[in-house]
A = this chain, B = another copy of it.
Amino acid sequence: MPKVVDPDARRREVVDALFRVVVRDGLQRTSLRAVADEAGLNIGSLRHYFASQQELMDFAMQSMLDGLTDRLLRHVEDIGDLSRHPPVERLRLAAGLLAELLPLDERRRAEVTVFLDFNAAARTNPAFRDLSDQAAAGSRRLVRRVLTRLDESGTLRPGRDLEIETERLTALLDGLGLGAVRNPDVLSPQMCTAVLAAHLGDLAGEE
């Protein structure tokens, strides 16, 4: 077997290049040729690893979602049982976990940026529908889970409708991401965390 090049590594390099192009130029201008240039590859080489544009896009978005999922699972594992932390800490831990979905550093900023573009495209491009819907469902699940845990541990004010609160917090996170990506100067990382903390504080009914 000739030409010893790890295909998986190459594919990851290409996906990294694709992310850079999407962040810099937008998904609309992310053509095979642009990605190949960014990766320092010939377009023929690129097409050796990804048979079609659709395959590349699917793999890229799936990679991003996998990475995010892993990070979230690790974060959840780090926290462990919520009841083993003092009540005062619980909101902070929840905020830290949910902040994985906010563009607070360069890595997360790139993730959210790419994700927003993919989502916008998914509205009218059926090829992206499944992954986009799956991502939306995942973040909604995470939020519901966090709220449920907080509620079960008695950290929330009683009488909350968890369905409504899930939609509210999910929408808040989406909106913060959107705003932080479009207007980073007014919706800085500090402002994002302050807003998230204020929201969770409200839910807990602190004075």
A-side interface residues, number (CB < 8 Å):
44
DSSP class of A's interface residues: helix, strand, loop or mixed?
helix
Whether A164 sits at the interface, judged by CB under 8 Å, is yes
CB nearest neighbor in B for A117:
B120
A26-B123, A124-B24, A161-B198 given; A174·B168 CB < 8 A: no
Cβ-neighbour of A168 out of B25, B164, B172, B181 (below 8 A): B172
Cβ-neighbour of A170 out of B24, B124, B133, B175 (below 8 A): B175
B176 touches A171 (CB 8 A): yes
A178 touches B175 (CB 8 A): yes
Stretch at the interface among A6-14, A58-66, A87-95, A187-195: A187-195
CA A199 to CA B172, docked complex, whole Å: 11
Q: A164 contacts which chain B residues (CB < 8 A)?
A: 191, 194-195, 198
Q: A186 contacts which chain B residues (CB < 8 A)?
A: 140, 167
Query: What are 23 A-B contacts defined by CB distance under 8 Å?
Result: A26-B120, A28-B124, A116-B120, A117-B123, A119-B178, A119-B182, A122-B182, A123-B181, A133-B183, A167-B187, A168-B195, A168-B198, A168-B199, A170-B175, A171-B176, A171-B187, A171-B195, A172-B175, A173-B175, A174-B178, A174-B179, A175-B175, A178-B178
The 8 closest A-B pairs by CB, nearest first: A171-B175, A175-B175, A26-B124, A174-B175, A120-B120, A171-B176, A168-B195, A172-B172
